[in-house]
Structure 1
Amino acid sequence: MITGKLNWDVLKKLLARNQGAIRSEVEKGGAVGEDCAVVNLGEEKLILSTDPVTAAAEDAGHIAFHININDIATTGARPLGIMVTILAPKEASLVDIEKVMRDISKEAKENDVMILGGHTEVTDAVNRMIVSVTALGTMDHGEDVVWTGGARAGDKIIVTKALGLEGTSILVSDFWEKSREVLSEEEMNAARAFSQELSVLKEGRLMRNMASSMHDITEGGVLGALWEVKEASGKGFRVEHEKLPVRDVTKKLCDAFSLDPLKLISSGSMLLTVEREEEALAILAKHGIEAHVIGEVLEEGSVLVKKGEEFHVDAPRRDEIYKLYD
C-alpha cells in the first residue's frame, strides 16, 4: 500500500462495515469529510477529534496540537482539552521526547487548553517520532454545529491565509539542505516562520455563525479539502487556479521538489463556504486575517479553471509530502 490517507472510497466501505455500537447520545459521528464527532451531554455538547502527525520530523508537537484544535475550530466549538500519545523510536533521546511535550504544553497554555492525559513510550514499531492527539471542545446545547457537509449550492468558497503553509514549514525543516539550494536565507527564515501560522481557531470563532461549512485544509491540500466538502455535502465546486493563494516561497520549494502545491498539506488555511462573502471578508480583514474568494459551490461536479480552461478534479490519492518519505 502507498503511504498517506486511505483512498476515500475504500475508507467509506471500511467505516460502513465497522461502526461499533450506536449510541443515542451521539448526535453525529466522524465520517469522510467530517473530522469531528458530537456527543450530546444535556446542557452542553462535547466535540471530539483525533489525528496523528506522521510526516514531520521537526516540530511534531507544535503541529499535532494545532491540527487537532483546528478540527474543533471548524465546528465553531470552544477548545477544552487534549489527550496526547507519543511513540518514540529507540534512537530518540529523552531530550527529543521532552521537546515534543514542551512544544505541546506551550501551545496549550497560549490557547487555554488543558492536557488531560495520554501515553508515552519508546518502541521499535516506529522509525521516527509519532505524535497523536485527541482534542475535545464544548458548545452550549442551543448552539449549532458547523458541519463540513453544510455547504450549499451558490455559496462562495473562501480560503484563509495561504495554501501549503504546513507543507512549506516541513520542507525547510526536514529537507534543510535541498531547500537552501533554492531559497535565500531570508526566504528560509520566512518559510520556517510559516509554522507559527498553523492555527485556524481565530477564523473558526469569527465565522461560526456565518459559514454554512468550515473545513481545515490538511492532507491532500486544497483539492483534497474541496473533495471532502463535496463528499460530505453532496454538492460540487468550481474554483479558479489564478485565485488560489500560494506564496512565492512555497512555489519555489514545490518546483524544486516536484510537488503540486494544490495537493500539499496546508494546515493554517481554513476553507469556508458562505452566502455573504463580502461581509465575511470584511469581518476577517477587521481581525487581521488574510482571506480570498476562490470559487463557488455547485449542485454537482468538481471543476478547476486554469487560464480559461476547465479541468475535472479527481480525489487526490495522497498528500504530495509523502513522495519525499517513500
Structure 2
Amino acid sequence: MKTYGKLGENLLKKYVFPYFGVRHEDVVESAGIGVDFAVIRCSNKFMIVSTDPITGVSKDIGWYAINVNANDVATSGNRPKFVVNVILLSDHEKPSSIKKISKDVDEACKLLDIMVVGGHSEVVKGIKNTILVVTAFTFAEKYVTARNAVEGDVIMMTKFAGLEGTSILAREYMNYLTSIDSWTLKNALNMIKEISVVKEAETAFSTGYVHAMHDPTEGGVIGGIYEMSVASNLGFKVYAERIPVAEETKKICRILNVDPLKLISSGVLLMAVDPKGEMYVKEELEKNGVKVSSIGYFIKGERLITSRGKSFVVEKSPVDELWRLKKRIL
C-alpha cells in the first residue's frame, strides 16, 4: 500500500463491505461510508456502537481516542456511556507511557461521563508509534444517521475547519513552526480541548430539525461532506469561502503547505438541517457558545465546491493532509 490513512471508498466496497459475516435481523443500521456507527435493536432500545483507532498521533493519544470515538456515537444524537480500549504499545515505550495513556483516557472519560468497561493491552514489536483502538457504545430510544440527509437540506458546521489537525500539527511539527509567535502556537495546541462534539450534537438533535450529522475526521470538512453525500446518495454545493478557518490554522497551514479544508477536523460537527429550522438550530447552539456556519446545500447531482466564483467537482474523499504531510517530510 502506497498511501496512508483510511481505506478509500473503492477498496472498502470491493474488499471489506462484502465480507460482513452472517446478517442478523436485529442490526438496524450497519456502518458504511459516512456512517461511523452501527445500530442494533436491543429489546425496546437501540445499541449504538462505533470503533476507531488513533494512529497518526504520538502525544495525548488517550485524550484523542476517547473524544474521537465519543464523537462518532454522538452524531447519532446520543451521548456515549461506555468504552472498551485496546492499547498496542510500541516496544520502545517506557512503562510510564502506559500510565500516561491510562490517565488521559480516565480524564477524558470523566469529562464526558463515560465508563471504561474492558479492553486489552500488549507490547507489539515493529510498530513505530503506540496505537490505541477504542470502541464506544450507548443505548438510545431514537437516533439519526448520515444516511438521512434530504435534498435541499442546509449544510451547517460548528467551530472551525482543521480544528483537531491544527493541534496535531502544532505538537508534531513544532520544529518547523519557529516563525510563529508563542501566543498563536499556544492557542493552536489548546485546540485539543475543543475536539468534543458530544454536547453540541445533543443540542442540535434536540431541535428536531437535524436530519443527519457527521464528524469530519480524516479528509477534513470536505471529506466529511463527501461521506455524508455518499451515505445519503446525494450531491452537494459547498461554498469554500463560507467555511470558517481559525487564524491559528491559517498560519500553521500556510507554513506547512497544508489545505485546512482537507485537514482532520474532529471537533467540527457537520449537520444536514431542514431549511425551516436553520436559524433555530443556529440560535440553540450559539446559546451554548458554539460557533455555527451555513456553508452549502445537499442537492441532486454533482458534488461541487465553489471557490471564487468557480465550481470544482469532488470525485472522491481526499487523503487527509496530515498523512500527505507526513509522507512528504519523512
Please give the TM-score of this superposition, normalised by the length of structure 1: 0.96
- RMSD in angstroms over aligned alpha carbons? 1.1
Between the aligned residues of both structures, percent identity stands at 35
Deviates more, 1:316-325 or 1:291-300: 316-325
Unaligned runs of 5+ residues in structure 2 are none
Deviates more, 1:305-314 or 1:215-224: 305-314
1:242 and 2:241 equivalent?
Answer: yes
Match of 1:184 among 176, 181, 185: 181
Q: Give the Å deviation of 1:76.
A: 1.0
Match of 2:81, SS state, is strand
Q: Give the Å deviation of 1:317.
A: 4.0
Give the ranges of 4+ consecutive aligned residues of structure 1 lying more than 6 Å apart after TM superposition: none
Residue 202 of structure 1 corresponds to: 199
In structure 2, distance between residues paired with 1:212 and 1:323: 33
Match of 1:50, SS state, is strand
Residue 163 of structure 1 corresponds to: 161
Q: How many residues align?
A: 322
Match of 1:27, SS state, is strand
Preserved CA contact (<8 Å) 1:237 1:303: yes
Letter of the 2:313 counterpart: H
Residue 170 of structure 2 corresponds to: 172
Unaligned runs of 5+ residues in structure 1 are none
1:74-223 alignment, distance < 5 Å? 74-140=75-141, 143=142, 145-179=143-177, 181-208=178-205, 209-223=208-222
Preserved CA contact (<8 Å) 1:12 1:32: no
Q: Give the Å deviation of 1:316.
A: 3.1
Please give the TM-score of this superposition, normalised by the length of structure 2: 0.95
Letter of the 1:24 counterpart: E
Q: Give the Å deviation of 1:272.
A: 0.4
Residue 225 of structure 2 corresponds to: 226
Residues 215-237 of structure 1: per-residue CA shift (max 9 Å, x gap): 00100001110110111000111
In structure 2, distance between residues paired with 1:78 and 1:191: 27
Preserved CA contact (<8 Å) 1:4 1:322: yes
In structure 1, distance between residues paired with 2:98 and 2:174: 22
In structure 1, distance between residues paired with 2:293 and 2:196: 17
Letter of the 2:148 counterpart: G
In structure 1, distance between residues paired with 2:255 and 2:94: 32
Preserved CA contact (<8 Å) 2:89 2:129: yes
Residues 33-83 of structure 1: per-residue CA shift (max 9 Å, x gap): 111001111122110000001111111111110110000100012311000
Deviates more, 1:164-173 or 1:306-315: 306-315
